[in-house]
Structure 1
Amino acid sequence: MKQLLEHISQCTICKAHLPLGPKPVVTANSKSKIVIIGQAPGIKVHQSGIPWDDQSGKRLREWLNVTNEQFYDTRNFAIIPMGFCYPGKGKSGDLPPRPECAPQWHQQLFDKMPNVELILLVGAYAQNYYLKDKAKRTLTETVGDYQSYLPRYFPIPHPSPTNRFWRSKNPWFEELVVPELRKKIAKVLKLE
């Protein structure tokens, strides 16, 4: 695993498309139990090199009901975004994750993590990539039908502050789904 992560840290596969250059942000451990697959690092995470080191990460940890220590313990969570590097700014938020990372690196990482019990699919990019034709027409429908993807996958919306409109329109997510997500996380990590 160490060698693979070192190899990834030197990746330049999409260098020409990255406004701030390559700086892959990914964490994993051969003992990881849960994999979080999000979109791509934002500017703050690009600068710090720490995944989910922003408001989105704070909300995600609240949803999961875990401490920073539990979250950043790679024996608990591997953090493998769809795009490993900051993709740049778009019209409304960041650009989509670069398409090169997932096919290039994800399977190699999963091959080295035999203890994975749950994969959190955070946002539509991860859901569409992993669920393929089993993903519903919209993220809302996919998240609403989360039980049909268990025990392997748990689809959730992105916890970004820019998603607050979605959360206000869909209060059922935090009322009904987040408690189930917390139970699942506690069970896998044996926090009960």
Structure 2
Amino acid sequence: FEIAREKISSASSVNIAATDAALAFDGNPGTRWESAHGVENVWLQVDLGDVFLVSEVKISWEFACARKYDIELSTDGVSFTSVWSKTDGVGGMGLIDSVFSGTNARFVRMQAFERATQYGYSIWEMEVYGSVSSGPSPPPMMVTPTSLPTPGPSSNPTSPPSPQPTTQPSPSPTTPQPSSPPTPGPTVEPSSP
């Protein structure tokens, strides 16, 4: 099954932001990744997020393609091994299906060595096929837990506030309170035009 769609991807070269590496893994045949023009040694890779038994890579090349390139695999993203090579690419070659023996990998890379046109490299879609690996997965990245302080006993004990005596007498139901009539405020007359 296809295992690279919308996974984290990167490239050693991008021509413009509108041709970012992620566009080669978005499942949309109308978007593409493109490298800077005139640069030979360029790679495009995807992190599958876990180790899979990878056995096939399909690349749908735009006219600007590689004359020479390898498909490389890695479990750690550092050390890559070539599993398939092409040395006779031509502009407009379209879909190239690379099939090889199933190999455990988390990272899949297209490593281009030589351009077939005067432009850069451009890929509409790069699909990776494989199955769940029965081999060991690389160790997960370690996250150091942080501890949050927990409230403990305080050295300054607090007590609830005590009632304070009032200095004004409270009205009693038998003592009538004087009331004052409301004071009228100034009256504003509308001005005539």
For normalisation by structure 1, the TM-score amounts to 0.22
More strand by share: 2
More helix by share: 1
Q: If you compute each CA radius of gyration, which structure gives the higher value, 1 or 2?
A: 2
